[in-house]
A and B are shown apart, each in its own frame.
Chain A
Amino acid sequence: MLRALWSAATGMYAQQLRVDTLANNLANVNTVGFKKMRVDFQDLFYQTVAPAGARTTSQSETTTGIQIGMGTRPVATQKIFLQGEYESTENPLDMVIEGAGFFQVTMPDGTIAYTRAGDFKKNADGMLVTSDGYYLEPSIVIPENASEVHVGSDGTISVRAGGEIQTIGTMELARFVNPAGLMNIGRNLFVATAASGDAIVGTPGTEGFGTLAQGVLEMSNVKVVEEMVNMITAQRAYEINSKVIKTADDMIALANNMVR
């Protein structure tokens, strides 16, 4: 009896975690470069009350045993790196990666973080920075007298300065063997972990890397309808688990009432 209580409690906890994740996905429905997450579950251990194949007589044996499971547990929050929708902004400093790869960002402590959000800005020194003011790696400085910025699909950045076009730098991208192993640190940034492996740095458009496009942003890959449907099922699953707790409690009360 108590097993049912605890199994249902694990079910409620699992659904709670799922709603937390869905809520974060929905909150980031308009976050540039956001990648949605999904919680994956596993069944917990089984208590084998009677093993399959136990002898019932010298000639016969049971065909199936009795196994009672102990509920569920969350095992991973899987990041889904599907391409988000494109939004044309016509802002020359907005960039999008079509395909695999991440922009590299130098954090204030000197380490490198990775992002899919290409909404870059120019700071007072003419350097390309993220919305938080972190420098791009390798750093790109736009000259003061530049009038037009052009980003090529291979990451070449050129400007028109003093009537002639000059190349001022090249964007580099990083990719990972296992991007799902990256760790979210907020602010649209990811950092490498032992699970993701080390970053492989390369030029956009070369093998394994996506190409760049200018004046376009990659939006969140959250689909509202999908998340809403997931939220409805999570809420109902939470409810049904709470009903199990209520029923198990009723049964315990009945057993307690046997003694008059």
Chain B
Amino acid sequence: MLQGIKFAADAMVAAAQAQDVTANNIANTDTAGFRKETPVFRSFSSILQDTLRQDAPRVKGGVVLDATVTDRTQGRVVATENPWDVALVGEGYFAVETPSGIRYTRNGSFGLNRNMALVTQDGHPVLGQRGPIVLPERGDVSISADGVIHVDGAEWDRFAVVAAGEGGGFIKEGLNLYRYDGAGEPLPSSAEVLSGHLEMSTVNPIQEIVAMIAHLRGFESAQRAVQLQDITLNKAVNEIGKIA
């Protein structure tokens, strides 16, 4: 059989997966703190070389979706005038306490619960320097750019804002949360904390539409390639061998 038909099918699968990634980006154009994913492809031969080294037969062709890379550019910061909307400017994540352990988020749409604890939209406590941030019943609260929460002018607590250490990274878990993957703990971050603002999604609709068209056309070309090779095979099987 022609190996090309397999390669073309691989390309269709990869384009379809990439389209899924793009669709998720587009669905999250209005999710505060969302970081878009970029699909990265890799040729199959390079993977094979990695695994089998030089002594293996070289197969040239094929493609797979190799990785989805989380884009870490700064999202657009918009003013909301809501004091508990907090945006991060620069690389970093807020730490929150969830039932499954400490998780991280860039969505700073926080609020106070009935116990005066600062929580995310899902009710997970936001962490400060001494565990969950709990505010006093009274007092004027202000947040400075270094993440310090002041009550009546005196320092009360400071947001735990962290960034990845050497070799570590943040992995998406959904619901605006990330898990830290790496040796040890993430490091303190120097990202600026802006109260009364929200960081919007990093998705750029124009880029995504272009990516969507590219994936569609790539899929289409690969499909044509499958069909053409099918025609070739058809000729080989049914016409060359035809007995007059």
Contacts and interface: CB of A to CB of B under 8 A. Distances in A.
B26 A11 contact: yes
Given A40-B109, A46-B173, A72-B31, A67 B208 contact: no
Contact of B114 (A75, A194, A240): A194
A46 B172 contact: yes
Main SS at interface, chain A: mixed
B23 A67 contact: no
B32 A40 contact: yes
B29 A11 contact: yes
**Top-8 shortest CB links A-B:** A11-B27, A69-B24, A197-B114, A4-B23, A45-B174, A64-B67, A7-B23, A71-B27
Contact of A247 (B19, B169, B227): B19
Interface of A: 1, 3-5, 7-8, 10-11, 14-15, 18, 38, 40-46, 49-50, 52-53, 56-57, 60, 62-72, 75-76, 78, 80, 82, 177-178, 180-181, 194-197, 207-208, 233-234, 236-237, 240-241, 243-244, 247-248, 250-251, 254-255, 257-258, 260
A42 B209 CA distance: 21
A61 to B, nearest CB: 11
Contact of B37 (A67, A72, A197, A241): A67
B211 to A, nearest CB: 11
B216 A250 contact: yes
Contacts of B213: 247
A177 B138 CA distance: 10
22 contacts: A1-B16, A1-B19, A5-B23, A7-B20, A40-B109, A42-B121, A43-B34, A43-B176, A46-B172, A57-B50, A67-B37, A67-B172, A69-B25, A70-B174, A71-B23, A80-B81, A178-B111, A178-B114, A196-B114, A237-B26, A247-B213, A258-B223
Interface string B208-244: 1100110110011001001100100000000000000
B59 interface: no
A243 B216 CA distance: 12
B101 to A, nearest CB: 17
B175 A43 contact: yes
Contacts of B219: 251, 254
A11 B66 contact: no
B148 interface: no
Contact of B27 (A49, A72, A243): A72
B51 interface: yes
B19 A248 contact: yes
Nearest to B47: A56
A38 B113 CA distance: 18
Contacts of B205: 236-237, 240
B22 interface: yes
Given A71-B23, A197-B114, A66 B121 contact: no
B24 A41 contact: no
B171 A72 contact: no
B114 A195 contact: yes
Nearest to B40: A64
